[in-house]
Amino acid sequence: MAKKFPLHPKHPERICWGCDRYCSTDSLACGNGSGRTMHPAELLGEDWYTVGDWGFDDDEAQPQDGGAKPQPAS
């Protein structure tokens, strides 16, 4: 069974997110010669999971602010 993917890890820069191993950046186990895979929050921002279909359950991907949606600017 795959590990649950964290939406908001505390230090995403310390881990490679390329597979279910979640290796530390100084001991990558893939052996493919590439660097670490960044967490989507590092690439797309803190609300990365709200855009697109990431395959998370609805209850799993609730915003941390209790579900309040930003109001459009008038």
Return the structure tokens found at 5.
Answer: 């993917």
CB 57, CB 28: distance < 8 Å: no
Nearest-angstrom CA–CA distance, 21 and 3: 9
CB 29, CB 21: distance < 8 Å: yes
Which residues, 6 or more positions from 39, have their beta carbon under 8 angstroms from its beta carbon?
9, 12, 15, 17
Q: What is the pLDDT of residues 3-23, one digit of tens each?
A: 788 888 899 999 988 888 888
First to last CA, the chain: 47
Q: What is the pLDDT of residues 53-72, one digit of tens each?
A: 777 765 555 555 545 555 55
Q: What is the pLDDT of residues 29-52, one digit of tens each?
A: 876 667 888 898 888 888 888 877
